[in-house]
Structure 1
Amino acid sequence: MNGLPSIEYRTKAGDTWDLIAFEQLGSCGYVSLLLNANRQYSDIAIFSAGTILTLPEITENTKVENLPPWRR
């Protein structure tokens, strides 16, 4: 823990991991970070409304994973 308060996101019906990562964190490449911060929900593919997820902190040094070479 870095001492900063956690940022939470309440899902909407139909949300998916990649959609949440894109809309809330700015890139689908952050899906693995989002999943790691919310392992208890890793078996859910499509969310119903009202699940509260923890959003990981994204900084300039956060590496986006699985990008094609031209986006790295």
Structure 2
Amino acid sequence: MRTYVTVQGDMWDGIAKKTLGSEYYMTALIDANPRYREIVIFPANLQLNIPDAPAATVPSDLPPWKRGDTT
């Protein structure tokens, strides 16, 4: 698991976007750092655990060219 050191003014969604590529991973980030769950705007120098981003799932009902299937 990677770590991230906060900068004054960081927020959960921004950290998720910066470290995991999308603010939609904010819940996973909070779950990996339960002791900081109540913080909305972070002070500087807190070390957060960064979970692995879940693998993207592609709906099977999409046409092959939208699924990335080139065969």
Into which bin does the TM-score normalised by the smaller protein fall?
0.7 to 0.9
Secondary structure at 2:18 match in 1: helix
Q: 1:38: which partner in 2?
A: 33
RMSD: 1.3
Q: How many Å separate the matches in 2 of 1:27 and 1:60?
A: 12
CA deviations over 1:4-61 (Å, ceiling 9, x no partner): xx20000000000000001111001000000000010000000010000000011434
Structure with bigger gyration radius: 2
Q: How many Å separate the matches in 1 of 2:56 and 2:32?
A: 18
The one-letter code of the counterpart of 1:45 is: V
Length-normalised TM-score, structure 1: 0.74
Query: Is there any run of 5+ residues in structure 2 with no aligned partner, and where?
Result: 58-71
Task: State percent identity of aligned pairs.
Answer: 40
Length-normalised TM-score, structure 2: 0.75
